[in-house]
Amino acid sequence: MSIIFPIYAFVVLLIFNILTHKFCVKMEMEKLKQNKVFRVINIMIVILLVCSYLRVLNAMV
């Protein structure tokens, strides 16, 4: 599990970053706003991934 989850987390972050980039390009956002959007989305996704990892660890115990 300790090998699979980081790979899964990387793929999830990659997919969300690709989708966020497409959204920013479509909305024609300025660079400063794009950085803020990426930061917020990445922080939220990391929090969700950590919570799901902790839940999986609790289920295994």
Specify the pTM: 0.86
Distances, alpha carbon 39 to alpha carbons 32, 50, 61, in Å: 11, 16, 33
* pLDDT tens-digit readout, 1-60: 788 999 999 999 999 999 999 999 999 999 999 999 999 999 999 999 999 999 999 998
Q: What is the reported pLDDT for 18?
A: 98
What SS3 state is found at 9?
A: helix
Domain spans of the chain, in order of start: 3-60
